[in-house]
Amino acid sequence: MNQGMDPQDQRNFIIAMVLMIAFVFGYQALVVSPEQEERREAQEQAEQQQEIAGPNATQESQQSVTIAPSVDEALQTNQRVEFDAARVDGSIRLTGAILDDLQLKDHFTTVERVNELRLLRPTNAEYGYYAGWYWFDGNQPVAGPTTRWQVEGEGQLSTNSPLVMTYEGNGVSIERTVRVDDNYMFTFTDEITNTGSEARTLSPLGSIRRHGEWKNFLDATDPGSSRTSGMAHQGLLGVFDDELTWRNYKNLDKGKGLKKSDDQGVRRASEGGWLGLTDKYWMTSLIPEQQYEFAGRYQRLSRETGPVFQVTATGTGRVIQPGETITSENRIFSGAKEYAVLDDYKDAGIPRFEDAIDWGNILYYITKPLFSLLYWLEQNVGTFGFAILALVVIVRLPLVPLYNQSYKSMAKMKKLAEPMKEIQERFAADPQRRQQEIMKLYQREKANPIAGCIPILLTIPVFFALYKVLYVTIEMRHAPFWYIRDLSSPDPTAIGNLFGLLPWAAGDVKSIPILGFVIGIGVLPILYGVTMTAIQALSPPPTDPTQKMIMRFLPLIFMFVFAGFAAGLVLYWVWSNVLSLVQQYFIMRRNGVETEFDKLIMRLLGRKKEEEV
């Protein structure tokens, strides 16, 4: 008697798992994504109506309100000092010495690379987003958000030219030197002198504020990013005593604060760390002096213009005697979450800063090394497209012996197709006897029907890890390859415009309700379906008619599922299929199995000979 799950049941189980995965991704493409798009369009319509009535108009009040000024208008209402550094430009508001105007020179809102991405916005603009470091004596501001700073010297800030600002009042004199490095780090070095007659205990307090509904301010920074909040963490992020902590915007909006905080919502770190707000690709964070303790806190504030998300980092109080001067150095990171940049900051002493990228909870040990390998390959082969192709080869190389055994088993199974068919017909009325005879056939021929699935199962974790990497790493954003302009987005071509030959855009074709799902499929998903069909032709067909029908439709199902995946992920799988096809064909021929490809060639050659005769 056969012990455990018989081969047919095992095969059914594997097929069921494949179909379940297809269903999950199909549901995402067919149901979830359209619903998100509908909500986005509804939100845009609501915003347009709100602009007419005013941002604070309600059903209960018909009083006129002031519409929040645009960024350009808001920038004109405060005295500022501009900066132009290696990778960022913008300005600092002199009132409060607040960093509230920052654009990224190397990153753009669209793949056309026209408009620089604006990360920080003025305090009085719609969806204001800003950060600063202040000084407090207990709960009383000494140099707070309303303090007026004076600029010394020429008042220029660049990578090679620091900005010097001064303030005198409230019993202190402060000289602040602001520096910006080659990337996205601003350093605030304060020399504080106690000009009073009594000792003072002053604490540095860093603050980040973000105004408005969280989905709206995400889209204001990076259009469409609110719809991709499922796969990548967006919200509060920080490190306390080398422990990473996070809370997404949805929960922050509900009033939830820092994990492991006390009754006042405060969490303390004794060995340094940092705290900030992160989007999918962008982050603004406070980095206090690492040699001192600091306390982090999150608050959701209510304003007439809407909610305000605030995180603060308060450093240890420093006692300053009359006439004494102390120096304090605190930093603000505001920029792109580029792995190499974050890793360099980690090496410079900011703990776990590279983990600002959402590597995932379960796949963390695969995604991070996988990206490191991809990044190294890109540095050596020139583009992430070629890096992905090289990655397929590297992943498959250790599995070559296993693939060979798998394909040999498939070759045997293909040879056994006819004997198995005879057994199925002979014992059609006796399933138990039929199964016993099939097992005897397997044992006699030393065939293993499950062996062909083992290599695929081993590569599935890599597949999902690559999916995560393509989704969360900014290095893949707007990365071009061949005809693809962005490897992190779906294939930009479509059947509906004959892959670019017709004048209308592929995006317009894909947006057609229902029909766009069919005629919006691009080149890579089609290639995936073709290569998967070819591999099936080399593999032994299922003896069960239902299984056979399911297997025939799987390439078509996955072709539609993959149509919504990142082009880089589909590129990975198509190239993997091509290599599998070549390897499997070679093994089949070595084992004397005539494949469907051989039959096709023979038919074509036979017709050619007949035409010649």
Q: What is the mean pLDDT of residues 444-456?
A: 65
Q: What is the mean pLDDT of residues 321-342?
A: 97
Mean pLDDT check: name the lowest of 48-52, 181-185, 262-266: 48-52
Q: What is the mean pLDDT of residues 360-375?
A: 89
Q: Which residues contact 415 (CB under 8 A, 6 or more apart)?
A: 445, 591, 593
Average pLDDT, the chain: 83
* Most distant pair of Cα atoms in the chain: their distance: 115
**Of 503, 505, 506, 504, which is closest to residue 524 (Cα–Cα)?**
506
Check if the beta carbon of residue 298 is closer than 8 Å to that of residue 249.
no
160-198 burial: b if 16+ Cβ within 10 Å, else e: eebbbbebeebbbebbbbbbbbebbbbebbbebbbeeee
Q: What is the mean pLDDT of residues 509-524?
A: 84
Highest mean pLDDT out of 10-19, 154-163, 408-417, 502-511: 154-163
pLDDT at 276: 98
pLDDT at 275: 98
Q: What is the mean pLDDT of residues 257-271?
A: 92
pLDDT at 414: 67
pLDDT at 441: 78
pLDDT at 453: 64
pLDDT-derived band at 537 (thresholds 50, 70, 90) equals: confident
Mean pLDDT check: name the lowest of 292-301, 475-484, 591-600: 591-600
pLDDT at 44: 44
Q: What is the mean pLDDT of residues 258-268?
A: 93
| pLDDT beyond 60 at 13 | no
pLDDT-derived band at 595 (thresholds 50, 70, 90) equals: low
Check if the beta carbon of residue 288 is closer than 8 Å to that of residue 294.
yes
pLDDT at 600: 66
Tell me yes or no: is domain 71-358 CATH 1.10.260.40. Answer: no
Q: What angle do CA 8, 13, 18 make, to 5 degrees?
A: 125
Q: What is the mean pLDDT of residues 561-567?
A: 85
What is the DSSP secondary structure assignment for residue 307, as one 8-state letter? Answer: E
Residue pLDDT, tens place only, 411-430: 666 667 778 778 877 887 88
Distance CA 189, CA 327 (A): 7
**Of 535, 537, 541, 545, which is closest to residue 573 (Cα–Cα)?**
535
pLDDT-derived band at 438 (thresholds 50, 70, 90) equals: confident
| pLDDT beyond 70 at 364 | yes
| pLDDT beyond 60 at 75 | yes
pLDDT at 452: 57
| pLDDT beyond 50 at 588 | yes
Q: What is the mean pLDDT of residues 3-32?
A: 47
Distance CA 221, CA 223 (A): 6
Q: What is the mean pLDDT of residues 383-401?
A: 87
Q: What angle do CA 452, 418, 601 make, to 5 degrees?
A: 75
**Of 296, 453, 464, which is closest to residue 364 (Cα–Cα)?**
464
Say if strands 163-169 and 172-180 run parallel, antiparallel, or are unpaired.
Answer: antiparallel
Mean pLDDT check: name the lowest of 215-224, 231-240, 316-325, 549-558: 549-558
pLDDT at 12: 46
pLDDT at 312: 97
Residue pLDDT, tens place only, 111-166: 888 999 999 999 999 999 999 999 999 999 999 999 999 999 888 899 999 999 99
- Ranges of each domain in the chain: 71-358, 373-489+522-612
The more confident residue out of 439 and 414 is 439
pLDDT-derived band at 57 (thresholds 50, 70, 90) equals: very low
| Burial of 491: CB neighbours in 10 Å, binned 0-12, 13-18, 19+ | buried
Mean pLDDT check: name the lowest of 5-9, 33-37, 311-315, 557-561: 5-9
Q: What is the mean pLDDT of residues 58-77?
A: 63
Residue 298, classed as helix, strand or coil, is strand
Check if the beta carbon of residue 446 is closer than 8 Å to that of residue 424.
no
The more confident residue out of 560 and 120 is 120
Residue pLDDT, tens place only, 574-584: 998 898 888 87
Distance CA 568, CA 374 (A): 12
CB neighbours of residue 478 within 10 Å = 17
Check if the beta carbon of residue 107 is closer than 8 Å to that of residue 336.
yes
pLDDT at 611: 52
Q: What is the mean pLDDT of residues 298-324?
A: 93
Distance CA 147, CA 166 (A): 10
